[in-house]
A and B are shown apart, each in its own frame.
Chain A
Amino acid sequence: SAVISQKPSRDICQRGTSLTIQCQVDSQVTMMFWYRQQPGQSLTLIATANQGSEATYESGFVIDKFPISRPNLTFSTLTVSNMSPEDSSIYLCSVLTSGRASYNEQFFGPGTRLTVL
Protein backbone atom coordinates (compact mmCIF):
# COMPACT_ATOMS: atom_id res chain seq x y z
CA SER A 1 0.00 0.00 0.00
CA ALA A 2 0.93 3.67 -0.05
CA VAL A 3 0.16 6.59 2.23
CA ILE A 4 -0.31 9.83 0.34
CA SER A 5 -0.54 13.34 1.71
CA GLN A 6 -1.51 16.50 -0.11
CA LYS A 7 -0.97 20.14 0.72
CA PRO A 8 -2.94 22.29 1.04
CA SER A 9 -6.06 20.37 1.98
CA ARG A 10 -8.16 23.29 0.84
CA ASP A 11 -7.76 26.84 -0.37
CA ILE A 12 -9.77 29.80 -1.53
CA CYS A 13 -8.06 31.79 -4.27
CA GLN A 14 -8.70 34.87 -6.33
CA ARG A 15 -9.27 34.79 -10.06
CA GLY A 16 -6.08 35.16 -12.06
CA THR A 17 -3.74 33.76 -9.42
CA SER A 18 -1.99 30.39 -9.35
CA LEU A 19 -1.88 27.63 -6.76
CA THR A 20 0.65 24.83 -6.41
CA ILE A 21 -0.56 21.57 -4.87
CA GLN A 22 1.94 19.17 -3.37
CA CYS A 23 1.69 15.40 -3.25
CA GLN A 24 3.97 13.35 -1.01
CA VAL A 25 4.11 9.54 -0.90
CA ASP A 26 5.61 7.44 1.86
CA SER A 27 7.35 5.09 -0.59
CA GLN A 28 8.99 5.28 -4.00
CA VAL A 29 6.52 4.89 -6.84
CA THR A 30 7.00 4.85 -10.57
CA MET A 31 3.84 6.54 -11.72
CA MET A 32 1.83 9.34 -10.20
CA PHE A 33 -1.41 10.77 -11.53
CA TRP A 34 -3.35 13.97 -11.06
CA TYR A 35 -7.14 13.95 -11.24
CA ARG A 36 -9.76 16.67 -11.12
CA GLN A 37 -13.17 16.19 -9.57
CA GLN A 38 -15.50 19.04 -10.43
CA PRO A 39 -18.55 19.63 -8.24
CA GLY A 40 -21.04 16.81 -8.68
CA GLN A 41 -18.87 15.10 -11.26
CA SER A 42 -16.63 12.10 -11.45
CA LEU A 43 -12.86 12.06 -11.52
CA THR A 44 -11.12 13.11 -14.70
CA LEU A 45 -7.47 12.32 -15.31
CA ILE A 46 -5.43 15.48 -15.92
CA ALA A 47 -2.00 14.00 -16.47
CA THR A 48 0.46 11.26 -15.65
CA ALA A 49 3.70 12.31 -13.97
CA ASN A 50 6.71 10.07 -14.39
CA GLN A 51 9.99 10.86 -12.69
CA GLY A 52 12.64 12.07 -15.07
CA SER A 53 10.35 12.82 -17.98
CA GLU A 54 7.71 15.31 -19.04
CA ALA A 55 4.20 14.75 -17.81
CA THR A 56 1.71 13.25 -20.23
CA TYR A 57 -1.50 15.26 -20.46
CA GLU A 58 -4.95 13.99 -21.31
CA SER A 59 -7.11 15.55 -23.96
CA GLY A 60 -8.43 18.91 -22.82
CA PHE A 61 -5.58 19.63 -20.42
CA VAL A 62 -2.43 21.58 -21.32
CA ILE A 63 0.90 22.13 -19.66
CA ASP A 64 0.59 25.91 -19.62
CA LYS A 65 -2.53 25.68 -17.49
CA PHE A 66 -1.51 22.70 -15.33
CA PRO A 67 2.29 22.50 -15.11
CA ILE A 68 3.50 19.44 -13.22
CA SER A 69 6.81 18.65 -11.60
CA ARG A 70 8.11 15.25 -10.54
CA PRO A 71 11.56 15.79 -9.06
CA ASN A 72 11.86 12.36 -7.42
CA LEU A 73 10.03 9.08 -6.83
CA THR A 74 8.07 10.26 -3.77
CA PHE A 75 6.94 13.79 -4.67
CA SER A 76 5.03 15.73 -7.29
CA THR A 77 3.38 19.11 -7.67
CA LEU A 78 0.50 20.33 -9.77
CA THR A 79 0.05 24.03 -10.41
CA VAL A 80 -3.29 25.46 -11.42
CA SER A 81 -2.39 28.62 -13.32
CA ASN A 82 -4.32 31.79 -14.02
CA MET A 83 -7.30 30.42 -12.17
CA SER A 84 -10.94 31.10 -12.96
CA PRO A 85 -14.07 30.01 -11.07
CA GLU A 86 -14.36 27.05 -13.46
CA ASP A 87 -11.19 25.64 -11.87
CA SER A 88 -13.01 25.19 -8.56
CA SER A 89 -12.66 21.47 -7.99
CA ILE A 90 -11.10 18.82 -5.85
CA TYR A 91 -7.66 17.87 -7.15
CA LEU A 92 -6.45 14.40 -6.27
CA CYS A 93 -3.07 12.81 -6.53
CA SER A 94 -2.79 9.07 -6.98
CA VAL A 95 0.05 6.61 -7.28
CA LEU A 96 0.57 3.27 -8.89
CA THR A 97 2.22 0.62 -6.74
CA SER A 98 3.67 -2.67 -7.82
CA GLY A 99 1.59 -5.64 -6.88
CA ARG A 100 0.77 -8.75 -8.81
CA ALA A 101 2.62 -9.12 -12.06
CA SER A 102 -0.50 -8.34 -14.05
CA TYR A 103 -2.00 -5.64 -11.89
CA ASN A 104 -0.81 -2.50 -10.18
CA GLU A 105 -3.07 -0.93 -7.59
CA GLN A 106 -3.77 2.76 -7.57
CA PHE A 107 -3.97 4.65 -4.27
CA PHE A 108 -5.41 8.11 -3.82
CA GLY A 109 -4.52 11.07 -1.69
CA PRO A 110 -7.11 12.95 0.38
CA GLY A 111 -7.48 15.68 -2.23
CA THR A 112 -7.15 19.44 -2.32
CA ARG A 113 -10.43 21.34 -2.34
CA LEU A 114 -9.97 24.51 -4.39
CA THR A 115 -12.45 27.36 -4.56
CA VAL A 116 -11.79 30.22 -6.98
CA LEU A 117 -13.64 33.48 -6.43
Chain B
Amino acid sequence: AQSVTQLDSQVPVFEEAPVELRCNYSSSVSVYLFWYVQYPNQGLQLLLKYLSGSTLVKGINGFEAEFNKSQTSFHLRKPSVHISDTAEYFCAVSDKSGYSTLTFGKGTMLLVSP
Protein backbone atom coordinates (compact mmCIF):
# COMPACT_ATOMS: atom_id res chain seq x y z
CA ALA B 1 0.00 0.00 0.00
CA GLN B 2 1.06 3.55 -0.61
CA SER B 3 0.50 6.80 1.22
CA VAL B 4 1.11 10.43 0.34
CA THR B 5 1.82 13.31 2.68
CA GLN B 6 1.50 16.90 1.60
CA LEU B 7 3.10 18.83 4.38
CA ASP B 8 1.35 22.16 3.80
CA SER B 9 -2.40 22.52 3.63
CA GLN B 10 -2.10 26.10 2.45
CA VAL B 11 0.73 28.12 0.90
CA PRO B 12 0.25 31.88 0.50
CA VAL B 13 2.64 33.62 -1.87
CA PHE B 14 2.91 36.91 -3.70
CA GLU B 15 2.69 37.12 -7.44
CA GLU B 16 6.01 36.57 -9.29
CA ALA B 17 7.56 34.92 -6.24
CA PRO B 18 8.89 31.35 -6.41
CA VAL B 19 6.99 28.55 -4.75
CA GLU B 20 7.60 24.97 -3.65
CA LEU B 21 4.81 22.59 -2.69
CA ARG B 22 6.07 19.60 -0.75
CA CYS B 23 5.09 15.99 -1.22
CA ASN B 24 6.45 12.87 0.46
CA TYR B 25 5.31 9.34 -0.22
CA SER B 26 5.58 5.94 1.35
CA SER B 27 5.57 2.72 -0.63
CA SER B 28 7.06 -0.74 -0.45
CA VAL B 29 7.25 -0.95 -4.24
CA SER B 30 8.39 1.32 -7.04
CA VAL B 31 5.85 3.96 -7.92
CA TYR B 32 4.78 6.47 -10.48
CA LEU B 33 4.32 10.00 -9.15
CA PHE B 34 1.92 12.72 -10.23
CA TRP B 35 0.88 16.26 -9.52
CA TYR B 36 -2.69 17.30 -10.32
CA VAL B 37 -4.20 20.78 -10.15
CA GLN B 38 -7.81 21.58 -9.36
CA TYR B 39 -8.99 25.09 -10.18
CA PRO B 40 -12.07 26.38 -8.34
CA ASN B 41 -15.19 24.47 -9.32
CA GLN B 42 -13.33 22.33 -11.85
CA GLY B 43 -12.10 18.77 -12.10
CA LEU B 44 -8.52 17.59 -11.80
CA GLN B 45 -5.95 18.29 -14.47
CA LEU B 46 -2.62 16.52 -14.73
CA LEU B 47 0.30 18.94 -14.25
CA LEU B 48 3.15 16.50 -14.61
CA LYS B 49 4.21 12.95 -13.93
CA TYR B 50 7.32 10.95 -13.14
CA LEU B 51 7.47 7.50 -14.67
CA SER B 52 11.19 6.80 -15.02
CA GLY B 53 14.40 8.35 -16.27
CA SER B 54 15.39 11.91 -15.45
CA THR B 55 14.42 12.85 -11.93
CA LEU B 56 13.52 16.40 -12.96
CA VAL B 57 10.24 16.51 -14.82
CA LYS B 58 8.65 19.51 -16.43
CA GLY B 59 4.94 20.00 -16.74
CA ILE B 60 2.42 22.48 -17.98
CA ASN B 61 2.16 26.12 -16.95
CA GLY B 62 5.86 26.37 -16.03
CA PHE B 63 5.76 23.85 -13.18
CA GLU B 64 8.44 21.28 -12.55
CA ALA B 65 9.04 18.60 -9.94
CA GLU B 66 12.01 16.60 -8.80
CA PHE B 67 11.87 12.97 -7.76
CA ASN B 68 14.18 12.16 -4.88
CA LYS B 69 14.20 8.45 -4.19
CA SER B 70 16.36 8.58 -1.08
CA GLN B 71 14.09 11.14 0.54
CA THR B 72 10.92 9.66 -1.00
CA SER B 73 9.89 13.12 -2.10
CA PHE B 74 8.39 14.69 -5.20
CA HIS B 75 8.25 18.43 -4.54
CA LEU B 76 6.57 20.75 -7.02
CA ARG B 77 8.18 24.07 -7.92
CA LYS B 78 7.57 27.14 -10.01
CA PRO B 79 10.09 30.01 -10.25
CA SER B 80 7.48 32.75 -10.66
CA VAL B 81 3.81 32.32 -9.90
CA HIS B 82 0.81 34.12 -11.35
CA ILE B 83 -2.54 35.00 -9.86
CA SER B 84 -4.03 32.36 -12.16
CA ASP B 85 -2.02 29.65 -10.39
CA THR B 86 -4.32 29.96 -7.39
CA ALA B 87 -5.73 26.45 -7.05
CA GLU B 88 -5.59 23.22 -5.07
CA TYR B 89 -2.64 20.98 -5.89
CA PHE B 90 -2.68 17.25 -5.27
CA CYS B 91 0.25 14.87 -5.22
CA ALA B 92 -0.55 11.26 -6.08
CA VAL B 93 1.18 7.92 -6.49
CA SER B 94 0.39 4.65 -8.15
CA ASP B 95 2.25 1.40 -8.23
CA LYS B 96 3.78 0.14 -11.44
CA SER B 97 1.21 -2.52 -12.18
CA GLY B 98 -1.09 -2.17 -15.15
CA TYR B 99 -3.95 -1.37 -12.78
CA SER B 100 -2.87 2.07 -11.71
CA THR B 101 -5.11 3.09 -8.85
CA LEU B 102 -4.11 6.51 -7.60
CA THR B 103 -3.50 7.36 -3.96
CA PHE B 104 -3.82 11.08 -3.32
CA GLY B 105 -2.42 13.40 -0.72
CA LYS B 106 -4.73 15.79 1.10
CA GLY B 107 -3.88 18.66 -1.19
CA THR B 108 -2.18 22.04 -0.86
CA MET B 109 -4.06 25.22 -1.53
CA LEU B 110 -1.81 27.71 -3.33
CA LEU B 111 -2.99 31.27 -2.75
CA VAL B 112 -1.33 33.84 -4.98
CA SER B 113 -1.94 37.47 -4.13
CA PRO B 114 -0.88 40.64 -5.94
The digit string for A35-66, where 1 denotes a CB below 8 A from any CB of B, is 00000011111001000000000000000000
Residue in contact with B44 in the complex, picked from A92, A100, A105, CB distance below 8 Å: A92
Is B72's beta carbon under 8 Å from chain A?
no
Residue in contact with B51 in the complex, picked from A48, A103, A107, CB distance below 8 Å: A103
- Residue of A whose beta carbon sits closest to that of B42: A110
CB pair A109–B105 under 8 Å, yes or no, is: no
Is A13's beta carbon under 8 Å from chain B?
no
Is A104's beta carbon under 8 Å from chain B?
yes
CB pair A42–B43 under 8 Å, yes or no, is: no
- Residue of A whose beta carbon sits closest to that of B46: A105
Is B32's beta carbon under 8 Å from chain A?
yes
Residues of chain B lying within 8 A (CB to CB) of residue A44: 104
Residue in contact with A109 in the complex, picked from B32, B43, B46, B99, CB distance below 8 Å: B43
CB pair B104–A42 under 8 Å, yes or no, is: yes
CB pair A110–B90 under 8 Å, yes or no, is: no
The digit string for B37-78, where 1 denotes a CB below 8 A from any CB of A, is 000011111100101000000000000000000000000000
Interface residues of A, Cβ cutoff 8 Å to B = 4, 31, 33, 41-45, 48, 92, 94, 96, 100, 102-111, 113
Sampled A-B contacts (9; CB under 8 Å): A42-B105, A42-B106, A45-B101, A48-B101, A96-B100, A103-B51, A108-B43, A108-B45, A111-B42
Interface residues of B, Cβ cutoff 8 Å to A = 32, 36, 41-46, 49, 51, 90, 96, 98-102, 104-107
